[in-house]
Every structure is written in structure tokens, then in C-alpha cells.
Amino acid sequence: MNDFSLAQLAPSDRPREKLIENGVAVLSDSDLLAIIIRNGFKGLPATNLAKTILLSVDNDLTRLSRMNLHELSSFKGMGKVKAVTVMAALELGRRRRFAEGVKALQISSSKDAASVFIPLLSDLCHEEFWMLLMNRANRVICRYQVSKGGISGTVVDPKMVYRKAVEQSASSLIFCHNHPSGNLSPSEADLQLTKKLVEAGRLFDMQVLDHIIIAGDNYYSFADEGRI
């Protein structure tokens, strides 16, 4: 048999048993990853495989979450099925963080808006453009992904933006996109798009409150910089 199962480890080294007996909080990152992976390969326990993967990203979970299917499945003993399982688990955790940020949220500052989007966009290796639709009390009606692009940009159609806003009876909007490069400064294209979206909003009597740029855990606010 080629696979090396967690069941073949000594009880004290089995992450599942440690979780059952002592709770999930006592497990290390490699223990948790090993549970997701389940099996190692040819004498290599899943715990060792998990440590190898984490070591490749300097034990940085953010970097791990940015690994694609090809990168994860390239480790000996992983394969596409295990890689997909790891990616799904990381994505579920990311969505949980994001969902917590929008429950009955009232936006009163750029920090409030950034806190909604940083968990969603900070780890991405491609660019996405999102918006928050809000009522007259600045409470979030919904969040909506406008577009998804590549490393250097994404296409935004103002007609699609305001069609969705009208459908949701929004009174105001906040736009947000990420810069995978880590550069917070708005590009000329960012400036022109923001101007176009603000002008289009006036036609529908909808106010654009801000446009946030996310780069890692930092953000840039058009409103704070007097550019809205």
C-alpha cells in the first residue's frame, strides 16, 4: 500500500485524536492541514507532508491560500484531489471571515468599508472589482462582485453596476478593488473609472461614497484623499 495513513502514527502524533481529546485550539497549523490532507505517501505521514507544504511558504497561511491547483498538487503525495480539498477548506475560511464583516453593518468610515473587503481581497493574486450597496441609513443591502480579471486589471461596465444598484433600490454605493502588486496608489485608469462611476451615479440619484483600493492588509480611500 502506497499511502501512509494518519492511523499508522502513534496516538500522541495523530491530529484527529488530539482534536477529539483536547479540542481544535491545541492543534498546530500543520496538524490541521494534515487532517485535511488525510494520507501521506510511501512512508511519508500526512503530518510530514503538511509540514513540508507549510515550510515552502515559510509557515505563512496567507501565502498558502494564494497557491493555485498546480502549485499545491506539485508536492509529492498530494495530487489534484488533495490539492482541491485544501483549496476548498481555505476558501471556506476566507468566506467565513468575509461574511462576519457584513452582518447588519452600517458604514460610517473608510475603515468600516475596508474591513468588509480586506478578508475577501487581500490574499488574491488577481484583480477583482466589488461594490457595497447601501440604503439611506448607510446600512449594507448587499455586496456584489462586478468583475474579475487578471494580475494587472479588470473590466468594469458602469451600466451593469447601476443596473444592479437599481434592482436593489440602493441609495449609495462604495466601490472596491484590489491591487495584487501591493501598490496602494490609484492608477490613471482607476481615477478615470471612479470619475465615470460618480457621474453615472448622479443620473440615478445614487451617491458614490468611496472607492477603496486593497493591497494586502492596507487600503487607500478616495474619499479620505478628497478624490470623490
Q: What is the pLDDT of residues 92-133, one digit of tens each?
A: 887 776 665 555 588 999 999 999 899 889 888 899 999 999
Say if 227 falls within a structural domain: no
H or E segment at 214? strand 207-215
Residues 30 and 110 grouped into a single domain: no
Domain count, the chain: 2
For residue 11, what pLDDT is reported? 45
Residues 92 and 141 grouped into a single domain: no
Q: How far apart are CA 227 and CA 211, in angstroms?
A: 9
Q: How far apart are CA 188 and CA 85, in angstroms?
A: 40
Full-model pTM = 0.63
146: three-class secondary structure by DSSP: strand
Q: What is the mean pLDDT of residues 190-204?
A: 96
Residue 104 burial class via C-beta count within 10 angstroms: exposed 0-12, middle 13-18, buried 19 and up: exposed
Q: What is the mean pLDDT of residues 21-47?
A: 87
Say if 226 falls within a structural domain: no
- pLDDT over 50 at 6, yes or no: no
Task: Please identify, among 98, 113, 145, the residue that sits at the C-terminal boundary of a domain.
Answer: 98
Residues 65 and 114 grouped into a single domain: no
- Assess contact for 191 and 158: CB atoms under 8 A: no
Measured CA distances, 13 to 8, 26, 27, 78 (Å): 10, 13, 11, 20
Say if 138 falls within a structural domain: yes
Domain encompassing residue 66: 6-98
For residue 39, what pLDDT is reported? 85
Q: What is the CATH number of the domain that holds 134?
A: 3.40.140.10
Residues 208 and 134 grouped into a single domain: yes
